[in-house]
A = this chain, B = another copy of it.
Amino acid sequence: MFKNVLLVECQDTPGLVHGITGVLFKHKLNITMNQEFVESDRFFMRTEFEGPPVGSPLIAELETILPQGAIIRLGEQRPKTILIMVSHESHCLGDILIRHEFKQLPVRILGVISNHTSLQNLVNKFDLPFHFVSHENLTREEHEAKILTLIESIAPDYVVLAKYMRVLTPGFVNRFNGKMINIHHSFLPAFIGAKPYQQAFDRGVKVIGATAHFVTEELDDGPIIVQQVINVNHTANAQTMAQSGKDVEQIVLSKALKLLCEDRIFLAGNRTIIFD
């Protein structure tokens, strides 16, 4: 599951694929899958290859042939590490824990942070660290500062908001650019404000959706990774619609997490390039 993967992103210019593959060839690396895409003069390339161990010398050599500002990432031969943040809802966390337990996701969970204790018991079942960081009697900034200290001490590759229900400040999320993903419900049309499933019921929607995305200052408006819907009919009420929403949320978040941790995603402004 952990392949040699190279990701390159830079200003487009002729000869990039030729140049990059030349460096790989010189290092006796054989390309087994190569995907490349250019959009608005921006070049994105993901390469899976076989061969002897590589590392910083390869990156250094690539830098010499790529335009200034190129972003080069080399997937390491280990599962990505994640830290999960939750509040009360169990469905996304539970799905990730079970998949993690049986190695069906290419990740290693370093722990779970919550502003509540209701999911502590579930996390403990899987012998994983549960960090309770109460927001009681704290300003938002003080609470976030505590969480930030914790995250920095654990140092995961990615942070996964698996139904963490508190708004995060721009100051906080900006520290995790491209490193933090979130899941939220989606509707056609969209419903703003409280009780979205009641609104969806009142509106008589026939599909319920979920969107997994990177977290940016714009909260639920970051670059989209995965979207999916499921059908509901007139017998659904607000409560059963919410259950359908949970079902699709856990599917969508696990898919997004898999894409992320297999090094398949590029950020391109507010869009994502996904090589799957």
Contacts and interface: CB of A to CB of B under 8 A. Distances in A.
A12 B33 CA distance: 12
A90 B98 contact: yes
Interface residues of A, number: 71
A81 interface: no
A184 B243 CA distance: 25
Contact of A34 (B28, B36, B201): B36
A212 to B, nearest CB: 9
Interface stretch (A18-26, A108-116, A160-168): A18-26
A35 interface: yes
B271 A234 contact: yes
Copies in the complex: 4
Given A36-B31, A189-B190, A270 B204 contact: yes
A202 interface: yes
A94 interface: yes
Given A17-B17, A30-B14, A187-B188, A207 B209 contact: yes
Interface stretch (A56-64, A148-156, A169-177, A224-232): A224-232
A95 interface: yes
A137 interface: no
Interface in A34-72: 34-39, 45
Query: Which of A90, A206, A209 lies at the interface centre, i.e. has the most chain B CB atoms within 10 A of its CB?
Result: A206
Query: Which of A28, A35, A188, A243 lies at the interface centre, i.e. has the most chain B CB atoms within 10 A of its CB?
Result: A188
A80 interface: no
Interface in A106-142: 122, 125-126
Nearest to A90: B102
Nearest to A187: B188
26 contacts: A15-B25, A17-B17, A17-B31, A18-B22, A18-B24, A30-B38, A33-B36, A33-B235, A34-B45, A35-B36, A90-B98, A90-B101, A90-B102, A91-B102, A91-B104, A94-B98, A186-B188, A189-B221, A204-B223, A206-B224, A207-B227, A209-B229, A229-B229, A234-B268, A234-B272, A235-B276
Interface of A: 12, 14-18, 21-22, 24-25, 28-39, 45, 90-91, 94-95, 97-99, 101-102, 104, 122, 125-126, 186-190, 201-207, 209, 211, 221, 223-229, 233-235, 243, 246, 251, 268, 270-274, 276
